[in-house]
Amino acid sequence: MHLVYPLILAVLLFCVGLYGVLARRNAILVLMSVELMLNAVNINLVAFDMWLRDTLHAGQALTLFVITIAAAEIGLGLAIVLMVFRSRATSDVSALRDLGEPGAVPAPGAPPGAPPGPRGGPSPSPSGGPSPGPSPSPSASGAQPVRGGGSESA
């Protein structure tokens, strides 16, 4: 058997899965598209295992491993989608943008409900400049100044 036919099938299957991940907004359809992509990888593993005539059948063993990991991934993904659907009444991926990034917390001393600053830092002042307040000195933050030890250019 030629290696080209399974590879063409795997490429087509992977492209359909990639299109589904990029174009779909329903979280369940995105998970199904990821499974299509993993099945394309499985086809490649089995095809190359058959083409190389490996006596250990490493491609088939890896395929079983990928199937096991994919089953765990789809179970965890569906559990997350179910929890989000119960709290938000939607499984639309684009509607979940307001969940925020981890680590984005309001600045200390900010009023409740204030938007977080960049990377969880303090919010900028209304004038657009840096927020007023003392800047930490190197000794206060525990940083030590670097002394010599390097080569100096003349």
Instruction: Express as a percent the part of the chain with pLDDT over 90.
Output: 51
91 near 84, Cβ under 8 Å? yes
Lowest mean pLDDT among 27-31, 81-85, 97-101, 129-133: 129-133
The answer to whether residue 78 is domain-embedded is yes
E strand or H helix at 78, and its extent? Answer: helix 58-88
**Residue 45: which CATH number?**
1.10.287.3510
| Residue 135 pLDDT exceeds 90 | no
C-alpha 35/C-alpha 93 separation (Å) is 17
Residue 19: domain span: 4-92
- pTM for the full model? 0.62
Chain centre distance of CA 122: 26
Structural domains in the chain (count): 1
In a domain, 121, yes or no: no
Other CB atoms within 10 A of residue 136 CB: 10
Query: Does any domain span residue 45?
Result: yes
Residue 103: band (very low, low, confident or very high) from pLDDT cuts 50, 70, 90: low
CA distance 35 to 29: 10
Q: d(Cα 120, Cα 135) in Å, to the nearest integer?
A: 17
